[in-house]
Structure 1
Amino acid sequence: MPTLHDSLALPAFTATNRIFMAPMTRMRAPEPADIPTELHREYYRQRATAGLIVTEGVQISLEGKGYSGAPGIYTDEQVEAWRAVTDAVHAEGGRIAIQLWHVGRVTHPHVQGGTPGVSASALPFEGRTNIKDADGNVISVDAPTPRALRLDEIPRLLEDYRHATRNARAAGFDMVEIHGANGYLLQQFMSISTNARDDQYGGSMENRARLPLEVVDAVVGEWDAAHVGIRLSPMIKFVGLDDADGMEMGIYMARELADRDLGYLHLVEPDWAGGPELDDEFRTAVRDAFPGIIIAAGSYDRAKGTRVLEGGWADAIAFGRPFIANPDLPERLAVGADLNDVDFSRVYGGDAAGYIDYPVMETVR
């Protein structure tokens, strides 16, 4: 049976282990240019022993931005800065994918030039986002009611994804991951709780899945299927979206993605955000629908990850918070070492503290 420390052959490359780093927003890119800095380079370099790093969400356009301090991948300056990050990871023998992000309605006029965000429908919701005040402090604010994305805007949105993919390739990333999870734009189209459209992008499950699949096809067309993954989170409760009826959509999407031979399916389990705990029956249904590489994520530890790998429900496990405080997480798991605790007061925004200053085992001993 596979273990966390075995290599894994993905369609695009072979990962040295099955301990992947999950995408996590850290809000350290200076505004307004949203360009990664030397801090980002060091942060990802330190964690290059992961089988695959998936970056924090990276907005594909200014419209896709929801959080102050989130980096972008739509300008030449951003591409150049990300190239320094990928070069550093590759120099350590690591692999890194960029997560392509459009937050949809989970944004604020503060980061949108005074306008509201876009979504599948113009529905009010109880969601919040993080912005920075005049003193640079991270504050949580309500996200206002969005406007519905117009039909004539969808071609432009698809081109934004294509452009971001071209930029990701130019920046040296090993793959791109489409963010279709956690209540952001693509899941806002998929979920009946956020999509009240009466056109070809609303109503039936096939219609609600149309935009996410068009995004997949656009990104694959810009690179190829082997270098494209996607993150989904059926049944999640997050940023004002309650996907309680998302199980059927999750299985449908898995089948559609299998038909496209996508590089991987990254499945986020909803219990970390207050949703239900996935059972093995659902994991089996996803595996039956998607025979390719599945990455499982969501409050995993070594024991849970080992069980899911041995059950054949996933091929790799993405760890989030443990990687924040333990840049050498694969080595710690290999020897059963204690893990550093996360300083949650320094997760979002700030400087090097709580970002690149966590000790590795050699400095702990």
Structure 2
Amino acid sequence: MDSYTSDSSDSDTNSNKVIDLAYLLLEPDTVDHNLEAYMNESKRFFEVERIILHHNRLSTLPNNLVKFSNTKILDISNNGLTSLPNIFEYCPLTTLVAKNNLLKNYSLPKSFTKCTTLKELNLSGNQLNQFPEQILDFLNLKYLYVGGNAMKQISKNIWKLKNLQVLSFGGNELTEVPATLGQLQHLQALVLCDNQLESLPANIANLYKLKSLLLHKNRLRTLPPEIIALKNLTELSLRDNPLVVRFVSEMSYNPTSLLELSARTIKLHNIQLEPGDIPLTLLNYMNSAHRCVNPHCKGVYFDNRVEHIKFVDFCGKYRIPLLQYLCSSKCAIKRDENFDRPARSYMMKKVLLG
């Protein structure tokens, strides 16, 4: 009995457009047999648009694959592939997912047939040590995932992929980012986490549509001041960078002790204490009170405080992380014009620091 997901009846259009052989641990010859059986049983095999082959044992692609000339989505991930043929010569793919295989740079053809239909390419989790220049010919590419490889550089010709909306380079060995990346005007998400970056080019601020910038687990000590121009940025991940480690070591809020609660009450009600009213150690403790940084909160704290990170403008240009000490977690929520500037369209809504 064949393993493909299909209805032999031509009446079910949707089922006839998908062949699903995922999670079967099939060898190439077995997959070939299944595809051949499908072609023999279905008069409309040429209408198949999706072929799902992930989680099998395909060191090479099955020969019969090229006969499905209308395939738009091909998923060959998690197979152990050691080579990727020029599949674009036969299929007008819009999506190719080949992640988590054993592909090296020499595993790819020196050039691919130009495919104007390709919108998504996923080569993450392979063994590429250089950026594959061949993929720069896919001019209509919108989503490019090449994370989890061993690349040390991003091609300076990355600007050719002008339609990119998502670019993922996380988990490589990048030490720098080319300035030409700033020419990707349609980019909305840029993933550069888990690399060895020490700086970013100033013209990253030209990515006006950028919404998400993931930079965690790098070696960044500063950010270009021009980054403040990214008015659509809503997510910035900076954890595990020297830039953040200087400001945040541990954020925790433990229950307040009875001693501090009592001392806060005395301070809030302006109860006057004189030497002799309470032991000297307690009097010194009362004198060590700190005022909450929120001017609209008259609260105080002693040992227990809330540590709160915000990004503030400096001289109207620089955005720097600032660690605030607040008397209560509510003070981090109740913001007003004098305390934490009203939210503006360009202010980041989510900053991941820890």
Q: How high is the TM-score relative to the length of structure 1?
A: 0.29
Q: Relative contact order, CA 8 A, sep 6+: which one is greater?
A: 1
Larger radius of gyration: 2
Higher helix share: 1
What's the TM-score once normalised by structure 2's chain length?
0.29
